[in-house]
Amino acid sequence: MSRHLISAADLSLADAMAILDTAEELAHLAERPIPKLPTLRGRTVVNLFYEDSTRTRISFEAAAKRLSADVINFSAKGSSVAKGESLKDTALTLQAMGADAVVIRHGASGAPHRLADWVRGSVINAGDGTHEHPTQALLDAFTIRRRLGRLGGLRVAIVGDIVHSRVARSNVWLLRTLGASVTVVGPPTLLPLAVGSWPCEVSYNLSAVLPDCDVVMMLRVQQERLTDAYFPSIREYSRRYGLDADRVRLLPDHAIVMHPGPMNRGVEIAAAVADSARSTVVEQVTNGVAVRMAVLYLLLGGQPAERAQPAQPQAQALEPASSGAAR
Ligand code: NCD
């Protein structure tokens, strides 16, 4: 595995399995009275968030703290970014402070890739524009495997605003690597032009796809990224692409319903569906912490990042699932 996690498309099957298996071990930690490991003691993880976030930022913070890292939370609002400071100068500041890992969320696709040229620590993409959100795809895969017992051979539908969704992109690539088959579903205006080159099927008809699904993943319409009229009205969108109680009956009994959040209840998913036994929405959030711990552990846990004064390696309280996967 490389030093950075920028794209789910870069993960080999062995890398992805190492992360999921390590997360499985780490998930048991949460059941202990003190859910903490000393693995990253003396390491610094910076959360660099240029876009709003609830789940992802809190999840990375909890993950780093459970591994005993020092965490610095940086949000663009209230920082010198508001005074026009560039990403490069912000990166150099973080570098000067000795960040071992930078978790970045940015509105520009490709920002984490640029950042990786400027800092010596690991860069973890927590969502860049409409490009990728690899840890979300990993926590989704982890959740599917826990609920359904496997990933290989499963049929997954990803439904909604695909064109603006970094969650959809990361999931299409990761699920393909893990042996599942994906169908993206939405109105033609919300599917990217390049979808033909993605490793998935395409459908415009949600009701026709549901009877063959093991997993249906609903996505929010990203109003903040809509620059045009992509569909006649929210009501019309919801009628054709929303998952309501009637449509859920088309799913096989074992099928699960996922959503990365934030949900627009009553638009892409009915409240009764979001709160039903099929829904994994809350589990996805819980699982996100274990998966992000696994990513931090595998990227940082083995060796100290290249620093002028490397921290003393800590006693490892947990062996990596695959010792070759740390680098
Ligand atoms: C997603 C994101 O930010 O890309 N949310 C998340 O990370 N859980 C999806 C969204 O904003 O709709």
Q: In three state form, how does the secondary structure of the chain look? A: CCCCECCHHHCCHHHHHHHHHHHHHHHHHHHCCCCCCCCCCCCEEEEEECCCCCHHHHHHHHHHHHCCCEEEEEECCCCHHHHCCCHHHHHHHHHHCCCCEEEEEECCCCHHHHHHHHCCCEEEEEEECCCECHHHHHHHHHHHHHHHCCCCCCEEEEECCCCCCHHHHHHHHHHHHCCCEEEEECCHHHCCHHHHHCCCEEECCHHHHHHHCCEEEECCCCHHHCCCCCCCCHHHHHHHHCECHHHHCCCCCCCEEECCCCCCECCCECHHHHCCCCECHHHHHHHHHHHHHHHHHHHHCCCCCCCCCCCCCCCCCCCCCCHHHHC
56 CA → ligand 1 middle, Å:
8
Q: Percent of the chain having pLDDT more than 90? A: 77
The candidate with the shortest Cα–Cα distance to 269, out of 215, 214, 221, is 221
Centre of ligand 1 to C-alpha 318, Å, is 31
Q: What's the pLDDT score for residue 309? A: 37
Ligand 1 midpoint to CA 42 (Å): 30
Kindly name the residue from 57, 105, 131, 259 that is annotated as catalytic.
105
56 lines ligand 1 (CB under 6 A): yes
* pLDDT of the residue at 29: 85
- How far apart CA 199 and CA 164 sit, in angstroms, is 17
pLDDT digits (tens, 9 = 90+) for 284-310: 999 999 999 999 999 997 543 343 333
pLDDT in tens, 176-224: 999 999 999 999 999 999 999 999 999 999 999 999 999 999 999 988 8
Is 55 in the active site? yes
pLDDT score of 302: 54
Percentage of the chain lying above the pLDDT 70 cut: 92
What is the model's pLDDT at position 224? 81
Ligand 1 pocket member 261 (CB < 6 A): yes
Judged against a pLDDT cut of 60, whether residue 88 lies above it is answered with yes
- 83 catalytic per annotation: yes
166 lines ligand 1 (CB under 6 A): yes
Which is the catalytic residue, given 22, 39, 44, 56?
56
- 291: tokens are 């998966």
* Among 57, 66, 106, 133, the one annotated catalytic: 133
pLDDT for residue 172 is more than 60: yes
Task: Please give the model's pTM, rounded to 2 decimal places.
Answer: 0.91
Distance 262 CA to ligand 1 centre (A): 6
320, 67 in Cβ contact below 8 A? no
Give me the amino acid identity at 6. I
227's tokens: 């620059």
Atom of ligand 1 nearest to the CA of 219: 12
Residue 203 has what pLDDT?
A: 98
Q: Reply yes or no on whether 105 is catalytic.
A: yes
pLDDT band at 77 (very low <50, low <70, confident <90, very high): confident
Task: Check if 131 has its Cβ closer than 6 Å to any atom of ligand 1.
Answer: no
Is ligand 1 within 6 A of the CB of residue 127? yes
Question: What would the pLDDT profile of 235-260 be if each residue is shown by its tens digit?
Answer: 999 999 999 999 999 999 999 999 99
Place of tokens 């020092």: 70
Confirm or reject: Cβ of 55 under 6 Å from ligand 1: yes
State yes or no: pLDDT of 315 exceeds 60.
no
Distance CA 242, CA 238 (A): 4
Residue 326: predicted pLDDT: 38
Which of the four pLDDT bands, split at 50, 70 and 90, describes residue 94?
confident
Whether the CB of 112 sits within 6 Å of ligand 1: no
Q: To test ligand 1's pocket by mutation, which of 133, 164, 221 has the most ligand atoms within 8 angstroms of CB?
A: 133
Q: Are strands 122-128 and 155-159 parallel, antiparallel or unpaired?
A: unpaired
**What would the pLDDT profile of 121-158 be if each residue is shown by its tens digit?**
999 999 999 999 999 999 999 999 999 999 999 999 99
* Axis-axis angle for helices 13-27, 166-177 (nearest 10): 100
Contact 68/37 with Cβ under 8 angstroms?
Answer: yes
Q: Give the pLDDT score at 32.
A: 87
Q: Which atom of ligand 1 is nearest to the CA of 136?
A: 7
For residue 228, pLDDT over 80 is answered with no
133 touches ligand 1 (CB under 6 Å): yes
Mean pLDDT estimate for the chain: 90
pLDDT at 322 over 90: no
Query: How close is the Cα of 115 to the center of ligand 1, in Å?
Result: 21
CB 220 near ligand 1, within 6 Å: yes
Residue 230's pLDDT is 82
Contact between residue 273 and residue 279 where contact means Cβ atoms under 8 Å apart = yes
Give the N- to C-terminal CA distance of the chain in Å, as an integer. Answer: 5
State which amino acid sits at residue 39: T
Positive/negative CA dihedral, 40, 108, 82, 95: positive
Whether the upstream peptide bond of residue 262 has omega within 30° of 0, thus cis, is yes
- Amino acid letter for position 227: T
- Ordered domains of the chain (ranges, CATH): 8-133+284-309 (3.40.50.1370), 134-280 (3.40.50.1370)
In sequence order, which residues have a C-beta less than 8 Å from that of residue 3 and are 6 or more positions away? 122, 299, 305, 327
